């Protein structure tokens, strides 16, 4: 195979472990912490997880390894969207497994959770693993979005585990996948299978974090990748001085990615979904907010700018969510066929007009026609509108254009507005992991095996103190049940890990809020440049601004 020079160089990189894990397997012992309680709904969660609830938080420290030696056969899966560093979680896991005992085995189940059900696996060896060290992607075994949650699936997984003599399963995934890891751990314990289950926190969206998990892996690299390109676009905008760039960035729900990119690049505008919801902003109010920046900059002769739009934004606009709910209702069941049979858009438009409340129709009516039509094109398997497919970067630039036309007619604006659109998502999910993600992920994997070796189940591999150099990182484990509460999902009460949205009183948002008025008018762009893998630590080992602000390292 032809390898790029960087690929070869990254194979040679030795990821940094937390200081306490650096002395070799025989010198790692457990320090017991306090028993835990779930973040809310304690009685209900305890009743649902009688075998795994309330266990102690633990950390590892230097000291004689007291774990009981046994042959380990571990299965691992990657679950959900790709995130840079996933390969290193598996490499760290593999190295710890083999350093403990060469005869231990690591099986990778292919294509995500379905690999466990279909018993589709590969047994890792040095040659296989070495081809993936410090590389991006999930192609080592692939990933998938099948949910492991039914009793039927758990029975099959138990059979597969028995067949291979699995002692443990490691699930690398986001909030949903780790919720399922907790349920599977409870099932395995309740049925005395002897199979331990350990989770690892992954997602570029950054919404799997809490007082225990400081960051999900992949967020660092993905946001640095987007920020590099946004910075380049800012420089292009400032050079040509003729375009407003509307840049949508991934983040299915929470706006952490958009906020981090804004902190890195200081654009003129960045929308934050959580703020839009808290202030109950309408589409029109958001468009006015952006148009104000365009107009003020135009008054200074700057007919250019950059606006960051989070992928999940429209679901945070209350009137838009109501509109979507009404459309789903309007087209439920056979009415979809009736709608599809209408001869042209005019007839469809009237059907919609007659079926929506006046309030929702008013919202529908201000949407540009391509968005109106998008709402009826792609539907999910339940027949619902796929909000994530709406081109919100184009939606907002179109709404802003209308606002500016009205202002021009009223004589309050006299600039030029020419918009370009970008969507950055997949570009960042498989980048070579930054040194931070390479180190963090390797540590999560290595640490996951230490949890297995010491007999823990239903735990999330936890590496903290991440804003400090890696030798000061703290490795340990946290019962997943500690992060759970009860939420309503598909009409049922379910135990789930609480999704972390952007906190409007948190330091990252506060910093942004304190500066955004200035950024909206001035050209205050910053240019992060490409991720640096080799060079001085202050350039190569930087964490995100979000983490630095949360930990008080930046003011
Ligand atoms: P995870 O939550 O599984 O990590 O995935 C997040 C994400 O990258 C979102 O940012 C994006 O909306 C989504 O995946 C895209 O999913 P898909 O890969 O299925 O198109």
Residue 350 scores a pLDDT above 80:
yes
Least confident among 194-198, 335-339, 423-427? 335-339
Give me ligand 1 centre to Cα 308, in Å.
Answer: 18
Same topology between domain 5-35+52-218+433-480 and domain 220-429+506-548: yes
Residue nearest ligand 1's atom 7 by CA:
81
Q: How far apart are CA 150 and CA 146, in angstroms?
A: 11
Spacing of C-alpha 294 from chain mean position? 31
Give me ligand 1 centre to Cα 355, in Å.
Answer: 33
> How large is the average pLDDT for residues 60-89?
96
Give me ligand 1 centre to Cα 80, in Å.
Answer: 7
3-state secondary structure of 75: strand
The tens digit of pLDDT for each residue in 478-509 reads 999 999 999 987 778 999 999 999 999 999 99
Report yes or no: 494 and 487 within 8 Å, Cβ to Cβ. Answer: yes
The per-residue pLDDT of the chain, averaged, comes to 95
Residue nearest ligand 1's atom 17 by CA:
81
Enumerate the β-bridge partners of residue 474.
Answer: 464
Report yes or no: 217 and 205 within 8 Å, Cβ to Cβ. Answer: no
Residue with tokens 């912490």: 33
Enumerate the β-bridge partners of residue 269.
Answer: 307
Residue 414 scores a pLDDT above 70:
yes
The ligand 1 site (C-beta within 6 Å) comprises: 80-81, 83, 174, 203-205, 250-252, 311, 388, 429
Q: Which two tokens stand for residue 522?
A: 């001035």
- Ligand 1 atom closest to Cα of residue 205: 10
Catalytic residue among 205, 212, 437, 439: 205
Report yes or no: 237 and 251 within 8 Å, Cβ to Cβ. Answer: no
Residue nearest ligand 1's atom 5 by CA:
81
Residue nearest ligand 1's atom 11 by CA:
252
Give me ligand 1 centre to Cα 83, in Å.
Answer: 9
The tens digit of pLDDT for each residue in 131-182 reads 999 999 999 999 999 999 899 999 999 999 999 999 999 999 999 999 999 9
Residue 535 scores a pLDDT above 90:
yes
- Ligand 1 atom closest to Cα of residue 216: 4
Q: For residue 331, what pLDDT band results from cuts at 50, 70 and 90?
A: confident
Give me ligand 1 centre to Cα 402, in Å.
Answer: 32
- Judge residue 485's burial from the number of C-beta atoms within 10 Å of its C-beta, 0-12 exposed, 13-18 middle, 19 or more buried: middle
Q: How far apart are CA 369 and CA 246, in angstroms?
A: 19
Q: Which two tokens stand for residue 195?
A: 């199979």
Residue 546 scores a pLDDT above 80:
yes
Residue nearest ligand 1's atom 14 by CA:
81
List the one residue out of 547, 555, 554 whose CA is nearest residue 467: 547
Report yes or no: 90 and 187 within 8 Å, Cβ to Cβ. Answer: no
The tens digit of pLDDT for each residue in 27-51 reads 999 999 999 999 999 999 999 999 9
Q: Where are the domains of the chain?
A: 5-35+52-218+433-480, 220-429+506-548
Determine the pLDDT at residue 382: 67
Give me ligand 1 centre to Cα 368, in Å.
Answer: 26
Enumerate the β-bridge partners of residue 245.
Answer: 306, 420
- Ligand 1 atom closest to Cα of residue 207: 2
Determine the pLDDT at residue 2: 85
In this prediction the pTM is: 0.96
Share above pLDDT 70 across residues of the chain, in percent, rounded to a whole number: 99
Residue nearest ligand 1's atom 20 by CA:
81
Backbone φ and ψ for 296, nearest 5 degrees, come out as -65, -40
Report yes or no: 444 and 94 within 8 Å, Cβ to Cβ. Answer: no
Give me ligand 1 centre to Cα 426, in Å.
Answer: 9
Report yes or no: 244 and 417 within 8 Å, Cβ to Cβ. Answer: yes
Q: For residue 335, what pLDDT band results from cuts at 50, 70 and 90?
A: confident
Residue 453 scores a pLDDT above 70:
yes
- Ligand 1 atom closest to Cα of residue 250: 10
Residue nearest ligand 1's atom 10 by CA:
251
Give me ligand 1 centre to Cα 164, in Å.
Answer: 31
Give me ligand 1 centre to Cα 341, in Å.
Answer: 33
Determine the pLDDT at residue 72: 98
Share above pLDDT 90 across residues of the chain, in percent, rounded to a whole number: 91
Give me ligand 1 centre to Cα 142, in Å.
Answer: 14
Q: For residue 555, what pLDDT band results from cuts at 50, 70 and 90?
A: confident
- Hey, which of 206, 252, 313, 388 would you mutate to test ligand 1's pocket, going by the most ligand atoms within 8 Å of its Cβ? 252
Residue nearest ligand 1's atom 1 by CA:
81
- Hey, which of 81, 206, 441 would you mutate to test ligand 1's pocket, going by the most ligand atoms within 8 Å of its Cβ? 81
41 carries an active-site annotation: no
> How large is the average pLDDT for residues 108-122?
98
- What CATH number belongs to 5-35+52-218+433-480? 3.40.50.450
- Ligand 1 atom closest to Cα of residue 204: 4
Residue 292 scores a pLDDT above 80:
yes
Backbone φ and ψ for 422, nearest 5 degrees, come out as -145, 150
- Ligand 1 atom closest to Cα of residue 252: 12
Q: Which two tokens stand for residue 147?
A: 């949910």
Residue nearest ligand 1's atom 12 by CA:
252
CA torsion, points 468, 31, 495, 192, in degrees to nearest 10? 140
Residue 379 scores a pLDDT above 80:
no
The tens digit of pLDDT for each residue in 200-238 reads 999 999 999 999 999 999 999 999 999 999 999 999 999
- Hey, which of 113, 177, 205 would you mutate to test ligand 1's pocket, going by the most ligand atoms within 8 Å of its Cβ? 205
- Ligand 1 atom closest to Cα of residue 83: 4
Residue nearest ligand 1's atom 15 by CA:
81
> How large is the average pLDDT for residues 515-543?
96
Determine the pLDDT at residue 377: 79
Residue 381 scores a pLDDT above 80:
no
Q: How does DSSP assign 317-369, residue by residue?
A: SHHHHHHHHHHHHHTTTTHHHHHHTSSSHHHHHHHHHHHS-HHHHHHHHHS-H
Class of domain 220-429+506-548: alpha beta
- CA 489 → CA 92, 150, 470, distances in Å? 35, 15, 38
Residue with tokens 């004589």: 411
- Ligand 1 atom closest to Cα of residue 311: 12
């Amino acid at each position: 195979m032809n390898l790029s020079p960087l690929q070869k160089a990254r194979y040679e990189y030795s990821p940094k472990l937390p200081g306490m894990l650096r002395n070799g397997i025989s010198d790692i012992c457990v320090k017991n912490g306090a028993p835990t309680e779930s973040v809310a709904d304690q009685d209900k969660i305890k009743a649902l997880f009688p075998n795994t609830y309330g266990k102690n938080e633990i950390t590892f420290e230097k000291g004689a390894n007291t774990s009981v030696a046994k042959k380990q056969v571990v299965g691992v899966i990657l679950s959900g969207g790709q995130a840079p560093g996933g390969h290193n979680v598996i490499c760290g896991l593999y190295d710890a497994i083999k350093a403990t005992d060469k005869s231990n085995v690591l099986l990778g189940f292919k294509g995500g959770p379905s690999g466990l059900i279909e018993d589709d696996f590969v047994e890792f060896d040095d040659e296989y693993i070495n081809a993936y060290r410090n590389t991006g992607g999930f192609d080592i075994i692939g990933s998938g979005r099948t949910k492991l949650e039914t009793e039927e699936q758990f029975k099959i997984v138990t059979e597969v585990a028995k067949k291979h003599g699995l002692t443990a399963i490691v699930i690398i995934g986001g909030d949903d996948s780790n919720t399922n890891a907790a349920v599977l751990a409870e099932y395995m314990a309740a049925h005395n299978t002897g199979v331990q289950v350990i989770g690892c926190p992954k997602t570029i969206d950054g919404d799997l974090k809490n007082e225990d998990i400081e960051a999900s892996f992949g967020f660092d690299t993905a946001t640095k990748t987007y920020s590099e390109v946004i910075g380049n676009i800012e420089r292009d905008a400032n050079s040509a001085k003729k375009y407003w760039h509307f840049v949508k960035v991934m983040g299915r729900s929470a706006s952490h990615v958009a906020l981090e990119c804004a902190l890195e690049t200081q654009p003129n505008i960045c929308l934050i979904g959580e703020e839009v919801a808290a202030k109950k902003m309408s589409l029109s109010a958001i468009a006015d907010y952006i148009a104000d920046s365009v107009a003020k900059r135009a008054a200074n002769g700057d007919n250019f700018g950059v606006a960051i739009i989070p992928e999940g934004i429209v679901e945070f606009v209350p009137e838009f969510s109501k509109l979507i709910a009404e459309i789903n209702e309007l087209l439920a069941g056979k009415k979809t066929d009736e709608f599809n049979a209408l001869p042209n858009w005019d007839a469809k438009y009237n059907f919609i007009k007659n079926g929506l409340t006046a309030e929702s129709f008013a919202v529908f009516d201000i949407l540009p026609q391509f968005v109106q039509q998008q709402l009826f094109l792609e539907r999910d398997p339940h027949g619902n509108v796929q909000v994530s497919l709406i081109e919100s970067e184009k939606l907002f630039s179109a709404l802003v254009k209308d606002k500016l036309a009205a202002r021009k007619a009223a004589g309050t604006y006299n600039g030029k507005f020419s918009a370009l659109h970008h969507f950055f998502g997949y570009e960042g999910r498989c980048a070579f992991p930054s040194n931070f993600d390479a180190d963090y992920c390797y540590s999560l994997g290595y640490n996951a095996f230490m949890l297995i070796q010491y007999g823990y189940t239903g735990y999330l591999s936890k590496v903290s103190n991440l804003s400090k150099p890696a030798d000061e990182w703290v490795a340990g484990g946290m019962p997943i049940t500690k992060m759970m509460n009860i939420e309503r999902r598909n009409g049922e009460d379910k135990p789930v890990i609480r999704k972390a949205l952007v906190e409007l009183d948190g330091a990252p948002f506060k910093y942004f809020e304190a500066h955004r008025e200035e950024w909206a008018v001035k050209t205050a762009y910053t240019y992060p440049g490409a991720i640096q893998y080799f060079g001085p630590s202050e350039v190569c080992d930087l964490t995100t601004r979000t983490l630095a602000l949360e930990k008080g390292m930046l003011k």
